[in-house]
Amino acid sequence: MADKILTAPDGPPSDVEGIKERSNYLRGTLKEVMLDRMSAGIPDDDNRLMKHHGSYLQDDRDLRNERQKQKLEPAYQFMLRVRLPGGVATPDQWLVMDDLAQKYGNGTLKLTTRETFQMHGILKWNMKKTIQGIHASLMDTIAACGDVNRNVMCTSNPYQSEVHTEVYEWSKILSDQLLPRTRAYHEIWLDEEKVAGTPEVEEVEPMYGPLYLPRKFKIGIAVPPSNDIDVFSQDLGFIAIVEDDKLVGFNVAIGGGMGFSHGDKATYPQLAKVIGFCTPEQMYDVAEKVITIQRDYGNRSVRKNARFKYTVDRLGLKNVKAELENRLGWSLGEAKSYHFDSNGDRYGWVQGVEGKWHCTLFIEGGRVADFDDYKLMTGLREIAKVHTGEFRLTANQNVIIANVLSEKKKEISELIEQYGLTEGKHHSALRRSSIACVALPTCGLAMAEAERYLPTLIDKIETIVDESGLRDEEITIRMTGCPNGCARHALGEIGFIGKAPGKYNMYLGAAFDGSRLSKMYRENIGEEEILKELRVLIPRYAKEREEGEHFGDFVIRAGVIKATTDGTNFHE
């Protein structure tokens, strides 16, 4: 029925569609170009395909001008992203990532906003060894980037451990079953002999088809009251419904996303909308059918309008829901009530089921490295050597040393102490509630600094916070180097989006629980103006706020900014 109404946008397919079509299921000439020693880079078409294998060709932007002057090719290197459903890694896997980062990467690990590891600075000739090392420790990088379903996230919840175990299992099932079926990855990186894709054995992608999706697709599962994964920013979000301590199912939310382009009203961040309820057993079916709707009706002509959020907005939420139920052959249940209290992490030790302990550590900007006076990477390595539980990477770029046996707690606490690792207690709550995307020097799209700059900006904001008596007040603050939104800036109570070197658009007014977008407050301002604004707003908040009122709500009530609940009016 809905089939009659729904159409895909007209227009010639984008260049990426052609590249995918000609790629023989994501192979292209990747195998050959990775062997070529004439350049440290690879051609653009292969780089487009490379993303589906979890990697991007980048160049060190700090060196770009100098190398240009010397007429050298850019300092090419690869970024590699692991697929780690739910962000859970064993201590052995942690040690493998640490070792690979030392051997082949830039000696650091980035814990990403989608609960996984990224390595930077890998040279072309080390890529295969790195991927093989990851594979040998039972992880992979398949579909970590590209026009497919990405790493499935779930709440890192150390509090309700039984529910976490169950929800984590579902995130793994979704992530594994929604993987592309092509053997391209195994052939290119793991030396598997080519069988499929040859004329004798025809390869098929039963769900994706040969063109895969029009754009990336993201799924996250939140366990209320924590909305740490920002469920409303996902293309497809599931909200766990727990009754009498039992997981009964999930509310289904569709059509969220964060990215937009400066000044382009046809692009905007959007919140996913709840459309109904399904049981855990129905979850995979729902995910698969939602993905096929995007496959069939997403915009394959204009990539900046190709995300599912635009498909939903163009076709209408009701029509998409009707089409989903049509494809499912059954109807979603009525959405159940739920309550989120925050989209941040809660730090420190907490006891879960079976007497096991979990400790959330604050990792500023998600960067695991050894600094002059702070041996963070070494400390975590030493913990991994003795830890028998797991590491949980959080969507706020932190790490939880999870499932620590009571008898091990002292040893791990001592290592935390010895290496100065921190639950963030000596920082302001504002710093603990910060996220910054990678940006410079590796991200090719960055217009301004983020990860390397936010800590020093926070040093200065902390003075204002301290003077206002708000050191322990959680205010979420997020910075990205461009409007793509990798740090989910539009869901931070204070957001900064890079515009040009040293210049940011400043956003205010997102909800503390991730249920309302922010709105632009000031355009193209530098540090001095940012601090000038905050020197007024933060003390005002301290004086005028109501009991329990969060900063994002206050700025709206005080008339500093108008509320935005729907991305379609984001630019107004």
219-222 and 273-278 strand pairing: unpaired
**443 belongs to the binding site for ligand SF4 (CB under 6 A):** yes
**217 belongs to the binding site for ligand SRM (CB under 6 A):** no
**79 belongs to the binding site for ligand SRM (CB under 6 A):** yes
Question: Site size for ligand SF4, by CB under 6 A?
Answer: 13
Closest CA to 222 of 168, 277, 286: 168
**Cα separation, 151 vs 116, whole angstroms:** 8
Contact predicate 377/367, CB 8 Å: no
With contacts defined by CB under 6 A, name the span among 99-107, 252-260, 421-429, 550-558 that binds ligand SRM: 252-260
Compare residues 60 and 98 and give the one whose CB is closer to ligand SRM: 60
* Distance in Å, CB of 271 to ligand SF4, minimum: 18
As given in the structure block, the two tokens for residue 422 are 């921190």
Contacting ligand SF4 (CB under 6 A), which of 486, 508, 517, 555? 486
**408 belongs to the binding site for ligand SRM (CB under 6 A):** no
**Cα separation, 307 vs 83, whole angstroms:** 21
**Cα separation, 204 vs 286, whole angstroms:** 21
Select the binding partner of residue 499 from ligand SRM, ligand SF4, none (C-beta < 5 to 8 A, by kind).
none
**Cα separation, 506 vs 320, whole angstroms:** 34
Q: Any residues with CB less than 8 A from the CB of 314 and at least 6 apart, and which?
A: 9, 299
As given in the structure block, the two tokens for residue 559 are 């008339």
Compare residues 272 and 443 and give the one whose CB is closer to ligand SF4: 443
Contacting ligand SRM (CB under 6 A), which of 85, 259, 495, 552? 259
Instruction: List the beta strands (DSSP E) in 372-508.
Output: 374-375, 390-393, 399-404, 434-436, 477-480, 494-500, 503-508
Contact predicate 522/506, CB 8 Å: yes
Select the binding partner of residue 481 from ligand SRM, ligand SF4, none (C-beta < 5 to 8 A, by kind).
ligand SF4
**445 belongs to the binding site for ligand SF4 (CB under 6 A):** yes
Question: Which residues are tagged catalytic?
Answer: 81, 150, 216, 218, 437, 443, 482, 486
With contacts defined by CB under 6 A, name the span among 215-223, 287-295, 514-522, 547-555 that binds ligand SRM: 215-223
**307 belongs to the binding site for ligand SRM (CB under 6 A):** yes
**442 belongs to the binding site for ligand SRM (CB under 6 A):** yes
Q: Any residues with CB less than 8 A from the CB of 505 and at least 6 apart, and which?
A: 262, 496, 497, 499, 520, 522, 523, 524, 525
**450 belongs to the binding site for ligand SF4 (CB under 6 A):** yes
* Distance in Å, CB of 35 to ligand SRM, minimum: 24
**Cα separation, 480 vs 489, whole angstroms:** 7
Which residues within the stretch 60-79 sit at the binding site for ligand SF4 (CB under 6 A)? none
Residues at the interface with ligand SRM (CB under 6 A):
56, 58, 79, 81, 112-114, 116, 118, 150-151, 215-216, 218, 233, 257-259, 307, 366, 397, 437-438, 442-445, 484-486, 488
Judged by the rule CB under 6 A, the positions of this chain that interact with ligand SF4 are: 437-439, 443, 445-446, 450, 480-482, 484-486
